[in-house]
Amino acid sequence: MTSFLAGLSQFFKALLQFFSSLLLYLKKLPWFLCGLWVAIRHCFHRPPRGGCCVKLPPNTYVRPDPMIYDQYYLMSMGLAVTWDNPDMQLYDLAGNPVSPYGLNPGTDYQVAVRCWNNSYVAPAANLLVKLSYLSFGIGVTNTPVAATVTDLGVKGTALCPAFANFIWKTPATPGHYCLQADLVWPDDANPNNNLGQKNTQVVPLHSPAVFSVPVHNAAGVRRAFDLEVDMYALPTLEGCDEEPRNRYKDRFAESTARWAEARRTQAYGMFPVTDAWKVSISPREFELGPDESTTVTVSIEPTAGTFSGVQTFNVHGFATPPGGPRLLAGGVTLTVTGS
């Protein structure tokens, strides 16, 4: 009798456990059926034409766009440039501005690099800025100097522009050197506008002013070089108070309008050497093998015979490998001073 009652008790416990499990399963059944329906619908549902049916808002993922006055990028956009970079400035240790031409050998100078952000929504904290120098000329060898970081805010804030500051000790060998600044950001919205170059030379006018410009082929193939010269200079910008308010309906419209205005007024080819000057380049066209160099002589003189003031000329070097394409290899801005 005792064993019968014990068996009956075990039976009711098992039955109770079964109904408890069944109740728990029934509670989860609607979710299971719902999930099964979504999976089946996903397998047989076709997204609408024109792409994926998932639409993310435009502010889900934003990237900064660190930038500098980049001659290579600007010329690729069809704009004229100067090689006297407005975003790079040299100072002596007392804080006085100096020209990159005629620097003393083995001397410390301060170099300030101005960095901009073309993004209104994404800053670039700890933006890496690399400084290097090249011997004077076109396509010459790059020598690293130093690297530092700066905090670049979004466009229109107090941290834009930001400045990267260096102390550069010039080489012990006398000569002229040009500077390059490279902004490095791993997820840049436009990595093509990050390299700025400052390359100038000043010569007093002594009928004529003569410049010697080294040209180097840093490529691993033979390339044909040709040189062009113009008289472009940076325009004077209007003050912010001089522009009408609410001139553009949004930022995209403003950017589009400003690019169109720049191409209309500052396009490459719009600033030829005027009849008031005679510029001779020898040789103007030549070929260089891998790692070969040559020296180009640029002679500048006024056609009237006399000149007082300051006049700049930009010499741009283009290189074409076998089969092309023709690319910008570098350039220099030459300044003639007359009494």
The CATH number assigned to the domain holding 177 equals 2.60.40.10
What are the two backbone dihedrals, phi and then psi, of residue 8, each rounded to the nearest 5 degrees?
-65, -40
Judge whether 40 lies within some domain: no
**For residue 151, pLDDT beyond 60:** yes
Q: Does one domain contain both 122 and 155?
A: yes
Amino acid 272: pLDDT: 96
Judge whether 69 lies within some domain: yes
Amino acid 258: pLDDT: 84
CB 86 within 8 A of CB 92: no
Q: Which DSSP letter does residue 102 get?
A: T
CB count in 10 Å sphere of residue 209? 24
Comparing 122 with 50, the larger pLDDT belongs to 122
Q: Whole-prediction pTM value? A: 0.76
Amino acid 101: pLDDT: 75
Q: Does one domain contain both 335 and 229?
A: yes
Q: Does one domain contain both 139 and 228?
A: no
Q: Does one domain contain both 309 and 335?
A: yes
Q: Does one domain contain both 141 and 170?
A: yes
Residue 89 pLDDT class (50, 70, 90 cuts): very high
Q: Does one domain contain both 303 and 325?
A: yes
Rounded percentage of the chain residues whose pLDDT exceeds 70: 77
Q: Does one domain contain both 179 and 280?
A: no
Q: Give the whole-angstrom CA distance, residue 42 versus residue 40.
A: 5
**For residue 131, pLDDT beyond 80:** yes
**For residue 105, pLDDT beyond 80:** yes
Judge whether 4 lies within some domain: no
Residue 240 pLDDT class (50, 70, 90 cuts): low
- The range of the structural domain enclosing residue 300 comes to 199-233+271-339
Q: Give the whole-angstrom CA distance, residue 209 versus residue 225.
A: 23
Q: Does one domain contain both 194 and 207?
A: no
C-alpha distances out from residue 71 to 132, 204, 337, Å = 16, 26, 24
Strand 209-216 relative to strand 293-302: parallel, antiparallel, unpaired? antiparallel
Residue 238 pLDDT class (50, 70, 90 cuts): confident
Comparing 309 with 231, the larger pLDDT belongs to 231
Q: Does one domain contain both 117 and 174?
A: yes
Comparing 224 with 243, the larger pLDDT belongs to 224
Q: Which DSSP letter does residue 138 get?
A: B
Judge whether 73 lies within some domain: yes
Q: Give the whole-angstrom CA distance, residue 152 versus residue 184.
A: 12
Judge whether 51 lies within some domain: no
Amino acid 337: pLDDT: 85
Q: How many structural domains compose the chain?
A: 2
Helix (H, G, I), strand (E, B) or coil at 77: coil
Nearest to 332 by CA among 308, 307, 312: 312
β-bridge mates for residue 167, sequence order: 110
**For residue 285, pLDDT beyond 70:** yes
Amino acid 127: pLDDT: 96
Judge whether 154 lies within some domain: yes
Comparing 42 with 240, the larger pLDDT belongs to 240
Q: Which DSSP letter does residue 149 get?
A: E
Comparing 261 with 149, the larger pLDDT belongs to 149
E strand residue ranges, 62-141? 66-67, 88-91, 97-98, 108-117, 124-135
Amino acid 23: pLDDT: 56
Q: Does one domain contain both 108 and 187?
A: yes
Residue 55 pLDDT class (50, 70, 90 cuts): low
Q: Does one domain contain both 219 and 179?
A: no
Amino acid 106: pLDDT: 87
Q: Does one domain contain both 208 and 331?
A: yes
**For residue 260, pLDDT beyond 70:** yes
Average pLDDT, the chain: 83
Judge whether 43 lies within some domain: no
Amino acid 61: pLDDT: 67
Judge whether 46 lies within some domain: no
Q: pLDDT tens digit string along 10-33?
A: 666 666 666 566 555 555 556 555
**Of 146, 174, 198, at which residue does a domain stop?**
198
CB count in 10 Å sphere of residue 134? 20
CB 138 within 8 A of CB 216: yes
Q: pLDDT tens digit string along 175-198?
A: 777 889 999 999 899 999 999 999
